[in-house]
Amino acid sequence: MLNWNEFDDRDALIDGVSRRLHERLGAALKARREAWIALAGGSTPMPIYARLAGMELDWTRVTAVATDERWVPADHEASNGHQIRRRFAGTGLRVASLVPDDARGAANVDHADQTLAALTGPFDVVVLGMGNDAHFASLFPHSPALPAGLDPHASDNALVVVPDPLPPEAPFARVSLTLAKLLATRSLMLVIAGQAKREALEQAARAEADPHRLPAAALLRAAGKKLEIFWSP
């Protein structure tokens, strides 16, 4: 059974998830010197981060990294890290990057591996989004990188994904955290909105769902009750 949290509308979703994140981060900072979080990009989570950034917390002790990143310069509008920095501007939160600031040449995981090497324990919180095609992070259906990315026991923390076809709104190669790395967290949250995504998730939750076609199926199976799902129309 899914750990399902339903809200009446988008603003209630923003309020509920931001409060839950604030509680989790507050508890993490009470227990440890610093907190590490992985945050999804996309239109649904960004207002949540903006709301969260206005809540009182010692943000100087929190480091965030995107769950996936486009192979673009750090100040590019398509950069998830850039969008996260914008929401938390002035708070003191540090955003570590999966890609080099200039992101030249072919996409690779060298910089991501260096960034993630600083993380000696699990994430305190991972926030995931999901597309209408049931992809999460940059683990897209039918991608050649998908088997490695969805292996819950993989030793790799990140991998390069080149969507085929490249989405016209973001025609870039990606560096994505693997499912194995995303599962290495004390709190795992999936935040979605809209009927289409609900239906995609319900399809992924079926016992016969094929993760190669619906990647979220692998997430649901591997995470089990650890995964909290938050949805609004």
Q: Which domains does the chain have, with CATH numbers?
A: 3-232 (3.40.50.1360)
Nearest to 41 by CA among 93, 91, 79, 89: 79
Give the per-residue pLDDT at 2: 79
pTM for the complete prediction?
A: 0.96
In this predicted structure, the answer to whether residue 228 has a pLDDT above a threshold of 90 is yes
Mean pLDDT, the chain, whole residue set: 96
Give the per-residue pLDDT at 186: 97
Compute the distance between CA of residue 83 and CA of residue 41 in angstroms, rounded to an integer.
Answer: 8
In this predicted structure, the answer to whether residue 167 has a pLDDT above a threshold of 90 is no
Q: Provide the 3-class DSSP secondary structure of residue 74.
A: coil
In this predicted structure, the answer to whether residue 170 has a pLDDT above a threshold of 90 is no
Please give the structure tokens belonging to residue 3: 């750990």
Q: Model confidence at 1, in pLDDT bands (50, 70, 90)?
A: low
Lowest mean pLDDT segment, chosen from 84-88, 102-106, 152-156, 164-168: 164-168
Q: CA torsion sign, 205 to 211 to 215 to 219?
A: positive
Q: What's the average model confidence in pLDDT over 8-31?
A: 98
Give the per-residue pLDDT at 145: 95
Give the per-residue pLDDT at 168: 84
Give the per-residue pLDDT at 131: 96
Compute the distance between CA of residue 231 and CA of residue 4 in angstroms, rounded to an integer.
Answer: 8
Detail the DSSP E strand segments found in 40-121: 62-66, 68-70, 94-96
In this predicted structure, the answer to whether residue 23 has a pLDDT above a threshold of 70 is yes
Q: What is the pLDDT of residues 32-55, one digit of tens each?
A: 999 999 999 999 999 999 999 999
- Distances 48 to 61, 129, 173, 207 between C-alpha atoms, Å: 20, 12, 26, 32
Give the per-residue pLDDT at 7: 98
Q: What is the pLDDT of residues 193-217, one digit of tens each?
A: 999 999 999 999 999 999 999 999 9
